Chains A and B, each alone.
Chain A
Amino acid sequence: MEILICARRVPDTSENEIQLDSAGNDIERDDLVYSINEPDNYAVEEALQIVAKSGGNVTVATVGGDEDEEILRREMAMGANHGVLLSDDAFTGSDGKGIATVLKGFAQKQKFDLVLTGVQAEDGGAQVGGMLAAMLDYPFASLVNSIEVLDGNKLKISREIEGGNREMSEIDLPCVLSIQTGINEPRYVGMRGIRQVASLEIPIYGASDLGVDTSTVGEAAANVKRDDYFVPALGKGAEILEGGNEEIADKLIELMKANGGLQ
């Protein structure tokens, strides 16, 4: 099976406090730690497990710039066969639909049986996978938390719905799935693995390589634009307990007693 994963490099919220910069309308981008968007990493692991059983190749693509190459190398160190950078000045400022349009160009340039995305990006809207599927006229499922390859060019999948329930479906290939975290346990990537792929060539495709009409992507085509970032005025917020840990623990115990939590 030929599998494409659409991945993104994002500020890692488990490693960063995201705050506003001094101008107060963008986030402070100095010293941010970036990594692959977490659900995308689960998608790559899932693809690797599928090709280990059924054969095929795993290709990871991202829409971005030179700095985004690092996540492609990381996923190649994990075992992906190919990394591809989709990069063009014309793509800058694309909204979700613009990104999906670029990915559609790549998905049509090469033939893929299965296209995976992460369920959502840290600064995204859980949207690119569903848009890409509709543009390609492929079936789509979001929040996928298990995949079983069936005979007859189809998959049995489950989606994570409310209350821990799993919605089971059959879906025809080719299709697009958005992958939920927890579907597998992504393998560890060490520095040695990263070094081994450091010198591999990563092809770069621009708008003309992908047959993308530049009037359909980029800032001018974007229907959805972010004006600024801000921190909303807080409600009452928490009463912050100050002091040493011991002192705080004493206060907290009194508060919990007062609220019926400790007998």
Chain B
Amino acid sequence: MTSRIFAYIPHKGGVVDDSAAELLAAAKKIDPAASPTAIVTGSIPELDAVCNTLCASYAEVWKVASDSLAYPNAELVRQALVKVLPAGSLVLLPHNHFGIDLGPGLSVKLNAAFVSDVVGIDGIDGTILKVVRQEFGGQVSAHVRCNISAGAVINVRPGAFKPADGGVAAGKVIDQPAQVGPLTAKRRYLTTIAPEAGDVDISKEPVLVSVGRGIGEKDNIAIAEELAEAMGAAVSCSRPVVDAKWLPKSRQVGSSGQTVKPKIYLACGISGSFQHLAGLKGNPFIVAINKNPKAPIFQVADVGIVTDMLEFLPELTEKVREAKKVTA
């Protein structure tokens, strides 16, 4: 194992992203003896705070400071990394909106392999890195071999690698500004627009009746609304329902939507993609209702019901109403 491992760490407002610890854990899976190097880009003074934080867990932190890197524009970050990274490096990135933007093109410019959305690492065999990916919405997994003889960019799924305990390092910061020089981009960041607030704030609801593609058509949303009303709950949804314009974006649970922390989460006709589950926090009691017994949601749910939600929900609504009458 001669390749040097780098972890590119995103940050915002001087605060290090959660991926810092996860990428460190992933690097240790590649090679338990490795001492991975954190690499960060940005502008001073935020970047100094970031480096200080990272020194507690990484033995070495490469600091690439430039005013043109103040906003993490993947095109500019790529130019900087291509100048700074040694040939043959293994570069770990989080597979989020930034890593998806940066990773594939970076691998081309480094003449390195690219392996995307890695959820497991089985180690190295010669010049072959053995990883695990998920395909078809998480319904099956795949063993994948990646030839790393010329280096590799490895996009790591957020949340897939549990941070290791301890391992405190007294890291040193190494400045890498001189090689970077002036950077210009053909894509220029303008601004960030916050989402519009919805009629219901699903992030504060204790019980959510959440619907996915299995709802079938817009008129069926009423079936979920009736159950929610009977339960004193709110209706949320997964991405396909918003894509189809059946519910507004403000009702979407997931990494590109809202983060929710209910006590009870009824996932109805939701397959359970990792992007959706990323928006579900606080260890709720999850009930999965899905026709497809292979749906990944059944792996994370507490209780599963393999049935057609369109038939089951009205039945449940009736029963909830009856139960409330008895209690009253």
Contact = CB atoms under 8 A, between A and B. Distances in A.
A199 interface: no
Contacts of B70: none
B239 to A, nearest CB: 7
A211 B319 CA distance: 67
Contact of B75 (A14, A140, A223, A245): A140
Contacts of A231: 140-141
B140 A27 contact: yes
B31 to A, nearest CB: 19
B256 A162 contact: yes
Contacts of A252: 287, 303, 305, 316
Contacts of A133: 105
B193 interface: yes
Contacts of B252: 164
A139 B186 contact: yes
Contact of A129 (B104, B188, B301): B104
Contacts of B144: 224-227
A61 interface: no
Interface stretch (B49-57, B112-120, B164-172): B112-120
Interface in A139-196: 139-143, 156, 158-172, 175, 178, 181-182, 185
Contact of B108 (A131, A232, A237, A250): A131
Contacts of A97: 107-108, 113-114
Contacts of A19: 139-140, 294
Q: Please indicate which of the listed interface residues B104, B145, B292 has the most CB atoms of chain A within 10 Å of its own CB.
A: B104
Contact of B104 (A131, A165, A263): A131
B249 interface: yes
Contact of A122 (B137, B193, B300): B137
Nearest to A25: B143
Contacts of A163: 195, 256-259
Interface stretch (B32-40, B60-68, B93-101): B93-101
Q: Secondary structure at chain A's binding surface: helix, strand, loop or mixed?
A: mixed
Nearest to A121: B135
A262 B6 CA distance: 49
Contacts of B315: 245-246, 249
Interface stretch (A48-56, A64-72, A74-82, A253-261): A253-261
B301 A130 contact: no
A227 B312 CA distance: 40
Contacts of A209: none
Contact of A261 (B107, B109, B231): B231
B97 A162 contact: yes
Q: Secondary structure at chain B's binding surface: helix, strand, loop or mixed?
A: mixed
Contacts of B109: 134
A142 B100 contact: yes
Interface in B233-264: 233, 239-240, 242-245, 249-250, 252, 255-259, 263-264
Given A229-B142, A239-B303, A252-B287, A131 B105 contact: yes
B155 interface: yes
B142 A224 contact: no
Contacts of B105: 130-131, 133-134, 140
19 contacts: A27-B140, A97-B114, A122-B135, A125-B117, A129-B104, A143-B97, A159-B97, A164-B256, A167-B192, A168-B192, A182-B239, A185-B245, A223-B147, A223-B150, A232-B132, A237-B298, A248-B305, A252-B316, A255-B285
Interface of A: 11, 13-14, 16-20, 27, 96-97, 100, 119, 122-131, 133-135, 138-143, 156, 158-172, 175, 178, 181-182, 185, 223-232, 234-235, 237-241, 245-246, 248-250, 252-253, 255-256, 259-263
Interface of B: 73-75, 78, 95-97, 100-109, 113-117, 132-133, 135-137, 139-147, 150, 152, 155, 185-195, 206-207, 213, 231-233, 239-240, 242-245, 249-250, 252, 255-259, 263-264, 271, 285-288, 292-294, 298-307, 311-312, 315-316, 318-320, 323-324, 327
